[in-house]
Structure 1
Amino acid sequence: MDFSSLTYAVEDRVAVITLNRPERLNAIDDRMPGEIRRAVQQANDDDAVHVILLKGAGRAFCSGYDLKMYAESEGPNAGVQPMPWDPMIDYKIMKGFTDDYQSLWRSYKPTVAQVHGHAVAGGSDIALSCDILFMAEDARIGYPPARVWGCPTTAMWVYRVGAQVAKRMLFTGDLIDGREAAELGLALEAVPEDALADRVRAFLDRMAGVPKNQLMMQKLMINQAFDNMGMANTQMIATLFDGITRHSPEGMWFKQRAEEVGFQQAVKERDSGDPIPEGREGLRLNR
Structure 2
Amino acid sequence: MTYETLLAEFDAGITTVTLNRPEKMNAMSPTLLAELKDVLSSAAEDDQVAVVVLRSTGKVFCAGYDLSPDDWIISQFPAEFEGGVDLQKDREDIVQLLKYWLGMRKFPKPIVAAVQGPALSGAGELLAMCDIVIASEEARFGHPAGRDLGIPPTVFLWPLLIGMRKTKELLYTAKLIDAAEAGKLGLVNEVVAGEELEARVRSMAEDIARTPVNHLKILKEAADNWYDNMGLETSSRQAADLDAVFHQSPTFNAFFKLVGEKGMKAALDERRRLFG
Same fold (TM over 0.5): yes
Measured after TM superposition, the shift of residue 186 of structure 1 is: 0.2
Match of 1:278 in 2: none
Match of 2:265 in 1: 264
What is the rounded CA distance, in whole Å, between the counterparts of 1:168 and 1:48 in structure 2?
A: 43
Superposed counterparts of 1:100-111, under 5 Å: 100-111=100-111
Superposed counterparts of 1:38-53, under 5 Å: 38-53=38-53
Match of 2:11 in 1: 11
Measured after TM superposition, the shift of residue 104 of structure 1 is: 3.4
What is the rounded CA distance, in whole Å, between the counterparts of 1:265 and 1:120 in structure 2?
A: 20
Match of 1:239 in 2: 240
Consecutive unaligned residues of structure 2, counting only runs of 5 or more, are: none
Quick check: 1:71–1:263 contact (8 Å CA) kept in 2?
no
Letter in 1 for 2:147: R
What is the rounded CA distance, in whole Å, between the counterparts of 2:71 and 2:36 in structure 1?
A: 24
Match of 2:20 in 1: 20
Between stretches 182-191 and 146-155, larger displacement belongs to 146-155
Measured after TM superposition, the shift of residue 35 of structure 1 is: 1.8
What is the rounded CA distance, in whole Å, between the counterparts of 2:269 and 2:158 in structure 1?
A: 23
Match of 1:78 in 2: 76
Measured after TM superposition, the shift of residue 83 of structure 1 is: 3.8
Superposed counterparts of 1:172-191, under 5 Å: 172-191=173-192
What is the rounded CA distance, in whole Å, between the counterparts of 1:134 and 1:104 in structure 2?
A: 19
Letter in 2 for 1:18: T
Superposed counterparts of 1:67-216, under 5 Å: 67-69=67-69, 78-80=76-78, 81=81, 83=83, 85-155=85-155, 156-216=157-217
Measured after TM superposition, the shift of residue 84 of structure 1 is: 6.8
Measured after TM superposition, the shift of residue 114 of structure 1 is: 0.8
CA RMSD of aligned residues (A): 2.2
The residue matched to 1:242 in structure 2 has which SS?
A: helix
Summarize the Cα distance change of 1:82–1:235 in structure 2 as closer, same or farther, 3 Å threshold: farther
What is the rounded CA distance, in whole Å, between the counterparts of 1:21 and 1:266 in structure 2?
A: 22
Tell me the TM-score normalised to structure 1 length.
Answer: 0.87
Measured after TM superposition, the shift of residue 118 of structure 1 is: 1.4
Between stretches 264-273 and 162-171, larger displacement belongs to 264-273
Quick check: 1:36–1:100 contact (8 Å CA) kept in 2?
no
Measured after TM superposition, the shift of residue 181 of structure 1 is: 0.5
The residue matched to 1:176 in structure 2 has which SS?
A: strand
Letter in 2 for 1:247: Q
Letter in 2 for 1:165: K
Match of 1:55 in 2: 55
Between stretches 96-105 and 232-241, larger displacement belongs to 96-105
What is the rounded CA distance, in whole Å, between the counterparts of 2:108 and 2:274 in structure 1?
A: 42
What is the rounded CA distance, in whole Å, between the counterparts of 1:266 and 1:49 in structure 2?
A: 44
What is the rounded CA distance, in whole Å, between the counterparts of 2:105 and 2:227 in structure 1?
A: 11
Quick check: 1:120–1:140 contact (8 Å CA) kept in 2?
yes
Measured after TM superposition, the shift of residue 274 of structure 1 is: 4.4
Measured after TM superposition, the shift of residue 273 of structure 1 is: 6.0
Listed one character per residue, the Cα deviations across residues 159-184 of structure 1 (whole Å, up to 9, x for unaligned) are 22111111111111111111111011
The residue matched to 1:49 in structure 2 has which SS?
A: coil
- Matched residues, percent identical? 31
Consecutive unaligned residues of structure 1, counting only runs of 5 or more, are: 276-287
What is the rounded CA distance, in whole Å, between the counterparts of 2:149 and 2:115 in structure 1?
A: 24
Quick check: 1:115–1:136 contact (8 Å CA) kept in 2?
yes
What is the rounded CA distance, in whole Å, between the counterparts of 1:273 and 1:86 in structure 2?
A: 27
Summarize the Cα distance change of 1:179–1:272 in structure 2 as closer, same or farther, 3 Å threshold: farther
Letter in 2 for 1:224: N
What is the rounded CA distance, in whole Å, between the counterparts of 1:39 and 1:207 in structure 2?
A: 19
Tell me the TM-score normalised to structure 2 length.
Answer: 0.90
What is the rounded CA distance, in whole Å, between the counterparts of 2:13 and 2:71 in structure 1?
A: 42
Instruction: Number of aligned residue pairs: give it.
Output: 271
Quick check: 2:76–2:85 contact (8 Å CA) kept in 1?
no
Measured after TM superposition, the shift of residue 87 of structure 1 is: 2.7
Listed one character per residue, the Cα deviations across residues 244-264 of structure 1 (whole Å, up to 9, x for unaligned) are 222211211121233345423
